Amino acid sequence: MAVQKEPDYAIDYGDRAASAGISVFSEQFDDAFYYDGDDLGARYAPDRTGFRLWAPTAFEAFLVLYESWQGEPQQIVAMERSVKGTWAVTVPGDLEGLYYTYRVRIGEQWNEAVDPYARAVGVNGDRGYLIDLSRTNPSDWLKTDGGLRGAGPEPASAVDAVIYEVNIRDFTVHPASGAAHKGKFLGLSEPGTRGPGGIKTGLDYLADLGVTHVQLMPVYDFSTESVDETRLENGQYNWGYDPKNYNVPEGSYATDPYDPAARIRELKELIAALHSRGLRVIMDVVYNHMYDAYRANLTKLVPGYYFRYKSDGTLSDGSFCGNEMASERRMVRKFILDSVLYWAKEYRMDGFRFDLMGLLDVGTMTEIRMKLDEIDPSMILIGEGWIMETELPWPDRANQQQSARLPRIGQFNDVLRDAVKGNIFDAQWSRGFIGGDTHAAFGVKLGIVGGIPYHEGMKLFAQEPGQCVNFAECHDNRTLWDGISLSAGERPDEVRRQMHRLASAIVLTSQGIPFLHAGQEFMRTKNGVENSYNSPDEINRIDWERCFERQDDVAYLKALIALRAGHPAFRMRSAEEIRSRLYFEHAAGHCIAYTLRDHAGGDAAAHLYVLYHAGEGDTTLYLPELGEWKILFGVEHVRRLEAGVLEAGGIGMIVLAVS
């Protein structure tokens, strides 16, 4: 999480004499200086390396070569002004193993910066590094061709995915994780790790859970002020939503942050390990803001271009982190697109989750979707389409209200989240449907249908179910268990467990894309901490002892995933089919009941009856006359089933079927 600081030096935004009289803040700047080449950054070869930098407002530009991540330059090479505001130079000889930066004169100010297109960096990311990337590939690394991603089978639709959000450090840093490389990329790629009672942990655990996609919280190089890679022994922690170098992995997750190749190789080894288990990988990306817009390498190279500004000259701050990337500007859009495609091709990522996507523009997001489709149409693209205040014109914001212009891009469903468990900003008093708030039932129904326009009185933001990501918890805010602990009052632990299970059941049986937070299956707690972005390991780590103690809860979630996988009625592909196959049935206020009829989604079952029962007592329900109903799931909540009557008891979900 970034918090913008005030500049402690005067920023020179350049002399228009360097840019043909065109201001960096003007719309004409893009027309004059948009560069569409694919050679920005360093292009290494054993006999020479070519460099191209985009810096239209610079009077002079130099390539600075270093032998180490610190110390004085080995060589300073003048770059030549080239086309469309670029500067270029080719240096003969084998430069692999050298570090580099760019030094530019903007007006009367000299700035030194890391190449925004750098693909390797030294410790803390303060200098780029020249490397033959083929040397970082695992031995069984597949070439990027023919759309082969390395993990299969390909999902036929985004709604076939079950996404599981993981933080690299959290997942293996616990003393009982059984991992040798705790908190590292390699820790999560280790096979055969075991925890308390011999339970599977790490990679084996993920593969056994039944999820299809592992979403990795930020793995790009993030701010040194969040985690200093030279002081890892001090136990620093940060989620990493404060980008520094967009195209390089984070060094604190590598076994040796001083070795520029290690972080690249070890992240690839993790991705290969996940792919080998049939798991696809989604990368959490933060192109909406940076840690510090004034000190960012992008600003040092082209001051005033990459970020949004208000009319008074201050930074726009829709991110609440102090700044926003100006994605609507053509070279910013190009940078984001180039970066996403680089991760997709070089690291074989299978999808992307866009942090605060509502601050990016529609054109950028639709172009990303189009370009990813050219690589592999099954790649997942989701984002936070929150409606946020920004200088970007309202119709251009890639948020929930523009979903009709964002086909095949999923957006997180905060309406379902809050309806299920209560408003996240009023966790103590807002109980949600699982806590007995009957007024929340309508919001749950909006999620059940996948956020589509089900009828005139029931519609959310999605046009199709693949645009709706349903969830009850994620890394942000309190965990589901901690929220329940606040709102449930004196209710006993067993009732709280039932509430928690029901929340997960709703997510996994609703139309759309289900999303789970690591540890949700065993009721993860962060000891009540609401925003743990920089809390210590003791708060954030996956507690494998708790996992062992709650194996019955883990088994329950695995059964839910298997239920969804085994019944395509929960994964209908289109809004039209949902409208024609999903019927809400009459039920008491603390219940939601619906049927999925006529082999919905191609299901083997003729009809399914789903009941979400949020009352602790017993309830009698009358079943639709569609055939002989049999129990498919939730037998522990069935008190009686006969002659078209279902008597349900306790908080939980029941699924019945007519074959």
Tokens 């979400």 found at: 612
Residue 322, CB-side half-sphere exposure with 13 Å CA sphere: 16
Give Cβ neighbours of residue 333 (< 8 Å, ≥ 6 apart). 327, 361, 363, 364, 367
- CA separation for the pair 340, 118 (Å, rounded): 14
Q: What is the side-by-side strand order in the sheet with 645-649?
A: 618-622, 645-649, 638-642
Residue 600, CB-side half-sphere exposure with 13 Å CA sphere: 28
Q: In a 3-state reduction of DSSP, which class is residue 556?
A: helix
Q: How far is CA 359 from CA 65, 165, 371, 533, in A?
A: 36, 22, 20, 21
Evaluate whether 598 touches 628 at the Cβ level (below 8 Å): no
Helix 551-566 to helix 202-209 angle, to the nearest 10 degrees? 40
- CA separation for the pair 309, 312 (Å, rounded): 8
Active-site position among 190, 250, 317, 355: 355
Residue 406, CB-side half-sphere exposure with 13 Å CA sphere: 32
Evaluate whether 388 touches 396 at the Cβ level (below 8 Å): no
- CA separation for the pair 581, 596 (Å, rounded): 5
355 in active site: yes
Burial 87-123 (b: 16+ CB within 10 A, else e): bbbebeeebeebbbbbbbbbbeeebbbbbbbbbbbbb
Burial 376-389 (b: 16+ CB within 10 A, else e): bebbbbbbbbbebe
Pair of tokens at residue 367: 């172009």
Burial 519-553 (b: 16+ CB within 10 A, else e): bbbbbbbbeebeebbeeeeeebbbbbebbbebeeb
**Is the link from the previous residue into 153 a cis peptide, with omega within 30 of 0?**
yes
- CA separation for the pair 247, 215 (Å, rounded): 18
DSSP classification of residue 278: T
- CA separation for the pair 264, 130 (Å, rounded): 13
Residue 93: what residue type?
G
Evaluate whether 172 touches 201 at the Cβ level (below 8 Å): yes
Active-site position among 170, 384, 437, 543: 384
Tokens 């040397």 found at: 135
384 in active site: yes
> Which of the residues are catalytic?
355, 384
